[in-house]
Amino acid sequence: MQPSLPPESTDAPVTLASCVAEVSDIFARAFHILGGWRDLIVSAGPVQAAELDALVERLVVPALRGTPRAMTPDPASLMTGAGFIAAPQFVTGREFHFAWWLGPLAGTPLLGTTTAPSRLDLAARVNTEFLRDFRELEWYQVPEATARTHVTGPYVDHLCTFDYVITLTMPVRVGEEMVGVVGADVSVKSLEQVLLPHFLALASPVALVNASGRVVTSTEPSLPPGDVLPNGRHPLADYVQVPCPGTPFLLAMRVRAAPH
Amino acid sequence: MEPQLRPGAREAIFAQLDEAGRAEQVARRLTDAIILGVLTPGERLPSEQELARRFGVALITVRDALVMLRDAALVETRRGREGGSFVIQTDAPHGTLLQSRLRGLAQVELSDLFVYFSTILEGCAERAALRASPADADRLRGWLHTAPGSGAAGARATAGGFLLELAVLSQSPRLVREHIRLQAEFGPLLLLALGDPQARDRVAAGNREIAAAIARGEPLAARTLVADQARELSEWLLAAKTRTERGGPLYAAVATA
């Protein structure tokens, strides 16, 4: 983990608003990357599986090689997995097609350790139930239902990375039809490395929470990642919450004394 | 009918192994999965190369393990394009194998295993109750309703999947990893009681109560209920070991595994 550097020293002071803007900016740029992938997949038109896989690999694997650096947040460097998941029958004759790559893995129970990006090999996996069900999973189902980008999590990915992640997905549409989603997993750890220096520059504790109040990153020690705001120790009245535009996240700042 | 299982339960069969006695470990992992119906008769195992990759062992280790499985008449190997290693179709229950597996573990090992299992589960349940959103709680309860499968194998899949969900709801990657490792190594034994219809009903009722406690956001109640369930599974297994050590059957009344 990088030491937390102070935000650019000579620039404007860090405020709640500037922290909110930072969160929005990171997700906007991550979705911008996904948008680029989407456009190239759409413009490739109907393709065979091998062609599609080669295209997606070329697009996403460079993103999975980076390492996050505080204060210079290349959103691609936060990604631990990325790819394209085709809708049924988009790839000729295939009910399902996952073109998904994973970044290096450290000692995961099912997939072991890898040092370079590797393809998620669902064909080799014994479980087909997951394949049958993926259209009901939040990261696929919401973009399909709303035709909009979606952010899932944070949650423990218990299938691949065994990490605490946030999943970004964007529908890939041809006309009125969704032909799949492009997506990326962002590890909470990487996101923290980028956001924490900003949050620490604020005088009051803040917590970045999702729409359910689930904490992503926080400078309030009694409200760690994974906890939910409000809870028994943290009533809602103790916080002001500011939405981060373009994301489902809110930045909650404590405005009353710390809990006892 | 092919049992429909959540990813965790089946994937865990193939989780990576420790160093010592690797061929025996591969054979044991697959044997447990076969005799308890996680891998079903007629099912083709992944290729030797794929098994080696998944377990994180050498190809020769996998081949040695498959020889052990063939000698035990659990798999057969067919050649040709549609070839591979297949779980043998058999009507005979695998009671003898299960009994020898149970006798191979000391009472002190089994009870310690449950101390560890229970501790992890209690932590998962307590955290899940503190941290589950209403939507999470709904999903957990829905999982109990829609979870497929009847009989022993279905009940084990449901219970194993439910317990994994608890770990996921704790929001702790470490607890999830530990839980999967434990289920991979000992899952079939931990849930052996579910071959007993009465224990099965009690566990199913217990799971509903656990899900309800989590939905109500009551961490201590969830912890206590999970501990009760772990104790029930533990006592059942120790009783079964005592029975088999005395030369009796694995299941006291009607054998359904």
Close Cβ partners of B21 (under 8 Å, ≥ 6 residues apart): none
Q: Does A222 touch chain B (CB under 8 A)?
A: no
One domain, residues B201 and B222: yes
One domain, residues A208 and A116: no
Local confidence band at B93 (pLDDT 50, 70, 90 cut-offs)? low
Question: Per the structure, how many domains does chain B have?
Answer: 2
| Alpha carbon distance A130, A139 (integer Å) | 13
pLDDT at position A66: 66
pLDDT at position A140: 93
More confident residue, B77 or B72: B77
Chain centroid to CA A222: 24
| Contact indicator for B111, B150 with CB cutoff of 8 Å | no
HSE-up (13 A, CA, CB side) for residue A189:
11
pLDDT at position B123: 97
| Alpha carbon distance A60, A101 (integer Å) | 7
pLDDT at position A8: 52
pLDDT at position B50: 85
Residues 139-158 of A with CB under 8 A from B: 154-156, 158
CB contact under 8 A, B14 and A154: no
CB contact under 8 A, A112 and B4: no
Is the pLDDT at B98 greater than 80, yes or no? Answer: no
Residues of A in contact with B177 (CB under 8 A): 108-109, 162
- Measure in Å the smallest separation between the Cα of A204 and chain B Cα atoms: 24
pLDDT at position B96: 73
Local confidence band at B92 (pLDDT 50, 70, 90 cut-offs)? low
One domain, residues A167 and A184: yes
| Contact indicator for A250, A209 with CB cutoff of 8 Å | yes
Domain of B20, CATH number, reads 1.10.10.10
Residue bearing tokens 């709640």: A16
B112: DSSP letter: H
Q: Does A123 touch chain B (CB under 8 A)?
A: no
| Contact indicator for A149, A35 with CB cutoff of 8 Å | no
The low-confidence residues of chain A, meaning pLDDT below 50, are 1-4, 125-131
Q: Average of pLDDT values for B158-176?
A: 90
Query: Rounded mean pLDDT of chain B?
Result: 84
Picking from B22, B86, B138, B171 by the largest number of A CB atoms within 10 A of its own CB, the best residue to mutate is B171
Picking from A158, A166, A214, A234 by the largest number of B CB atoms within 10 A of its own CB, the best residue to mutate is A158
One domain, residues A73 and A124: yes
One domain, residues B126 and B203: yes
Q: Does B139 touch chain A (CB under 8 A)?
A: no
pLDDT at position A129: 46
One domain, residues A219 and A126: no
Residue bearing tokens 């770990």: B167
ipTM of the complex: 0.82
Residues of B in contact with A158 (CB under 8 A): 7-8, 164, 167-168, 176, 180
One domain, residues B47 and B150: no
CB contact under 8 A, A226 and B135: no
One domain, residues B28 and B136: no
Q: Which domain holds residue B219?
A: 100-245
Residue B188 has φ and ψ, to the nearest 5°, of -60, -40
- Measure in Å the smallest separation between the Cα of B245 and chain A Cα atoms: 34
Local confidence band at B170 (pLDDT 50, 70, 90 cut-offs)? very high
Most confident among A94-103, B63-72, B213-222 (mean pLDDT): B213-222
One domain, residues A134 and A30: yes
Domain of B104, CATH number, reads 1.20.120.530
B-chain residue closest to A107, CA distance? B16
One domain, residues B28 and B107: no
User: Which helix (H) or strand (E) segment is B242 a member of?
Assistant: helix B219-245
One domain, residues A47 and A122: yes
* Domain end (from A157, A175, A190): A190
pLDDT at position B143: 74
Buried b (16+ CB within 10 A) or exposed e, A123-147: eebbbebbeeebeeebbbbbbbeee
Domain of A140, CATH number, reads 3.30.450.20
Concatenated DSSP letters for A82-104? Answer: EEEEEPTTTSTT-S-EEEEEE--
pLDDT at position A113: 75
| Contact indicator for B129, B121 with CB cutoff of 8 Å | no
One domain, residues A149 and A35: yes
One domain, residues B129 and B16: no
Residues of A in contact with B8 (CB under 8 A): 158
Q: Does A130 touch chain B (CB under 8 A)?
A: yes
One domain, residues A177 and A96: yes
pLDDT at position B240: 92
Q: Which two tokens stand for residue B20?
A: 């010592």
pLDDT at position A72: 55
| Contact indicator for B236, B193 with CB cutoff of 8 Å | yes
pLDDT digits (tens, 9 = 90+) for B128-151: 999 999 989 998 887 787 655 567
A5 domain residue, yes or no: no
A-chain residue closest to B3, CA distance? A129
A132 domain residue, yes or no: yes
One domain, residues A101 and A133: yes
One domain, residues B40 and B63: yes
3-state helix, strand and coil shares in percent for chain B, rounded to the nearest 5: 70, 5, 25
Angle at B162 between CA B161 and CA B165, to 5 degrees: 90
Name beta bridge partners: B86: B44, B76
Q: What residue type is B191 in one-letter code?
A: L
Question: Per the structure, how many domains does chain A have?
Answer: 2
Q: Does A104 touch chain B (CB under 8 A)?
A: no
CB contact under 8 A, A110 and B5: no
Q: Which domain holds residue A54?
A: 16-190
More confident residue, B82 or A93: B82
pTM over 0.80? The answer is yes
